[in-house]
Amino acid sequence: MKPASPRSAPPADPRIAFFDRQAPTWDQTGPDPAVTLRRLDELEGRLDLRPGLDLLEVGCGTGQITGWLAARVKPGKVVAADFSPGMLAQARARGVDAEFVLRDICRHKPASRRFDVVLCFHSFPHFRDPKAALRQIARLLNPGGRLLVVHLSGSAPLNALHRRVGGPVGHDHLPPARQWAALLRPLRMEVMEAVDRRDLFLLKAALPARSRSARAGLRHLARA
Ligand SMILES: C[S@@+](CC[C@H](N)C(=O)[O-])C[C@H]1O[C@@H](n2cnc3c(N)ncnc32)[C@H](O)[C@@H]1O
């Protein structure tokens, strides 16, 4: 097979270098991990993470919440993915009960395994191609599986924060709750709950359980 010409390689996402640089100090300079875990404790009932569920955390960063997730779904498994090697190195060093993988969610890769829940915590706005990420997420979900997109602030203050930070994340954008039904409709995913207030963004959506329409959805995804 002919090697791919260097010109055909897509340019590296500048966010990888950005998050690599943030990684060693993220737990001190990013959101306070103790506050994050306290807020997650309060939200626990609404996330509906039950023992036995297999969960994929996309954009796990330094793994601040990965151990918390693993404790909720045990004996189910957590796979925590990030495309920043620096972030993943910090996450792996925590030694929590999860598998850490280097993965860009915007790149299509055949699903080698599927999950009951895919969680994007404080990560979705940074996916450079949100539609490609959602297509890939839908492929990675079991029939009836759920997508959770969670931020401990609303879309408006978060998008304003990204504009202030600037650089590679200056235009990173969390779509407001009202736009998600249209984003997910082509994937046959249904919004179950959408909260977008100043201190919380919580989007819950689900693939249909296996049924005639779900099979049609999966055929549709295979073509997408
Ligand atoms: C704001 S940080 C949040 C990290 C972590 N969830 C937390 O709450 O501390 C966003 C993370 O998303 C990751 N990320 C951005 N785009 C990604 C992509 N296309 N695929 C996988 N991870 C990505 C970044 O590397 C970064 O670690």
Of 173, 127, 110, 158, the C-alpha closest to 13 is: 127
Tell me whether residue 61 is exposed, middle or buried, using C-beta atoms within 10 angstroms of its C-beta: 0 to 12, 13 to 18, 19 or more. Answer: buried
Instruction: State the average pLDDT over residues 198-205.
Output: 98
Residue 144 lies in a domain: yes
The predicted-structure confidence for 126-166, as pLDDT tens digits, reads as follows: 999 999 999 999 999 999 999 999 999 999 999 999 999 99
For the chain, the first-to-last Cα distance in angstroms comes to 26
Question: CA 224 to CA 221: how far, in whole Å?
Answer: 5
Ligand 1: atom nearest CA of 107 is 19
- Residue closest to 121 by CA, chosen among 88, 85, 82: 82
What are the tens digits of pLDDT across the range 42-52?
Answer: 999 999 999 99
Residue 3 belongs to a domain: no
Residue 123 reports pLDDT greater than 70: yes
Confidence of residue 219 (pLDDT cuts 50, 70, 90): low
Question: What is the whole-number distance in angstroms between the Cα of residue 191 and the centre of ligand 1?
Answer: 23
Burial of residue 186 (CB within 10 Å: 0-12, 13-18, 19+) is middle
Ligand 1 centroid distance, CA of 61 (Å): 5
In a domain, 136, yes or no: yes
Mean pLDDT (the chain, rounded): 92
Which residue bears the tokens 């969390």?
Answer: 174
Total number of domains in the chain? 1
pLDDT recorded at residue 216: 55
129 within a domain of the structure (yes/no):
yes
Residue 62: inside a domain, yes or no? yes
Residue 126 Cα to ligand 1 midpoint, Å, equals 7
**pLDDT tens per residue across span 79-90:** 999 999 999 999
66 within some domain: yes
Give a yes or no: residue 1 inside a domain. Answer: no
CATH of the domain at 170: 3.40.50.150
Name all residues whose Cβ lies below 6 A of ligand 1: 15, 19, 30, 58-62, 64, 81-84, 87, 103-106, 121-123, 126-127
Domain ranges, residue 30 = 11-223
SS (H, E, C) 51-64: CCCCEEEECCCCCC
